[in-house]
Amino acid sequence: MEILLGEPFHLPRVGDDVFRKLMRDVRLEYDKQKRVFRTTPQTDLYQLATLLSETLKEPVTYAVKCFLCGSNAGCSTCEHSSVCDRLIVSQNCICESCLNKEDAYALYCMRAAEVSL
């Protein structure tokens, strides 16, 4: 299972005890109406991976999204993947195509200003 950090995702029923642990210890966010989970900067990604892989019996991996276009930032092809630990870096990055734009940094700043308005 791949979780896109900061983006909503569904889980099958995990049982009350695991759900409580996800909320209380792992600090995952849950939207009751849409019934979706979401990681936040406070989410303990180590514990989340351990708990979900034990509960769902499948490995859990993380991906980060591009702050500019919202797509998957493409960690598997990233030139920095050997030194980037997705468990300890913040939830957004920049994809290769956005990075290669002439004014990538200016676009990034504009996007940050837009969303904080």
Where on the chain is the footprint of another protein (CB under 8 A)?
6, 17, 21, 25, 40-42, 46-47, 50, 64, 67, 73, 78-80, 83-85, 88-94, 99, 104-105, 108-110, 112-113, 115-116
The 8-class DSSP code of residue 48 comes to H
CB of 6 within 8 A of CB of 90?
no
Beta carbons of 5 and 91 less than 8 angstroms apart? yes
CB of 75 to another protein, least distance (A): 9
Angle of the 45-56 helix axis to the 16-24 helix axis, nearest 10: 170
For the bound state, the minimum distance from the C-beta of residue 18 to another protein, rounded and expressed in Å, comes to 9
Cα–Cα distance between 25 and 94 in angstroms, integer?
29
Nearer to another protein, 28 or 73 (CB): 73
CB 58, min distance to another protein, A: 17
The token pair that represents 12 in the structure block: 């099958």
Cβ nearer to another protein, comparing 69 with 89: 89
Q: How far is the CB of 33 from another protein (least distance, A)?
A: 21
